[in-house]
Amino acid sequence: MSRRGFKTRCAALLLILSLAAALLPLAAAAEPDPTEEASQQEESAMEEALRASGAIHAEVSPGVRNIVKRACQLTDIVWTPLRNIEGWKNYSGNRFLAGRSYTGLPYAQPHRSGSYVPWQTSLTEFLRQVANPDSAMYSAQAISQVQKNPGPYYACECSAFVSWAWGLPQRETTHTLPQYSTVIGGSISNLQVGDCLNLEGKHARLVTDITYDAHGSLTGIEICEETPPAARRIWYREGSSSHPLTELQTDFLDKGYVILRSKTRDLVGYSHSCAVPLTGDVCPVCGANPYRDLPLNRWYAGAVAYVCNQGLMSGTSADTFSPNAEITRAMAVMMLWRMEHSPDSVGTVPFRDVKTDAYYYAALRWAWARGIVSGTGADRFSPKAPCTRAQLVTFLWQTAGKPNPKQSSCGFRDVKPGDWYYKALLWAVENGVVSGKSADRFCPKDHATRAETAAMFQAVCQLRGSFMGR
Ligand SMILES: [Zn+2]
Determine the Cα–Cα distance for residues 413 and 92; give it in Å rounded to an integer.
73
> pLDDT of 332-362, one tens digit each?
999 999 888 788 888 899 999 999 989 899 9
CA 348–ligand 1 middle distance (angstroms): 42
CA 121–ligand 1 middle distance (angstroms): 16
Calculate mean pLDDT across residues 242-253.
Answer: 93
CA 435–ligand 1 middle distance (angstroms): 27
What is the pTM assigned to this prediction? Answer: 0.71
CA 289–ligand 1 middle distance (angstroms): 9
- Has residue 321 got a pLDDT over 80? yes
CA 318–ligand 1 middle distance (angstroms): 19
pLDDT grade for 421, boundaries at 50, 70 and 90: very high
pLDDT at position 469, please? 36
Determine the Cα–Cα distance for residues 440 and 296; give it in Å rounded to an integer.
27
- Going from N- to C-terminal start, the domains of the chain cover 301-463
22-to-3, 15, 40, 145, 232 alpha-carbon distances in Å? 16, 9, 18, 46, 22
CA 368–ligand 1 middle distance (angstroms): 37
CA 262–ligand 1 middle distance (angstroms): 28
CA 383–ligand 1 middle distance (angstroms): 35
Whether 26 contacts 51, CB under 8 Å: no
CA 266–ligand 1 middle distance (angstroms): 24
Highest mean pLDDT among 14-28, 262-276, 370-384: 370-384
pLDDT at position 142, please? 52
CA 161–ligand 1 middle distance (angstroms): 22
- Has residue 13 got a pLDDT over 60? no
pLDDT at position 158, please? 84
Determine the Cα–Cα distance for residues 5 and 11; give it in Å rounded to an integer.
10
Whether 293 contacts 300, CB under 8 Å: no
Determine the Cα–Cα distance for residues 296 and 284; give it in Å rounded to an integer.
5
Calculate mean pLDDT across residues 320-342.
Answer: 92
> pLDDT of 249-266, one tens digit each?
999 999 999 999 999 998
Q: Backbone phi, then psi, for 96, in 5-degree steps?
A: -115, 120
DSSP letter for 265, please.
G
Whether 349 contacts 365, CB under 8 Å: yes
- Whole-angstrom Cα Rg for the chain: 24
CA 279–ligand 1 middle distance (angstroms): 11
CA 143–ligand 1 middle distance (angstroms): 33
DSSP letter for 248, please.
I
pLDDT at position 342, please? 81
pLDDT at position 57, please? 86
pLDDT grade for 456, boundaries at 50, 70 and 90: very high
CA 332–ligand 1 middle distance (angstroms): 27
The letter for the amino acid at 45 is: A
pLDDT at position 150, please? 37
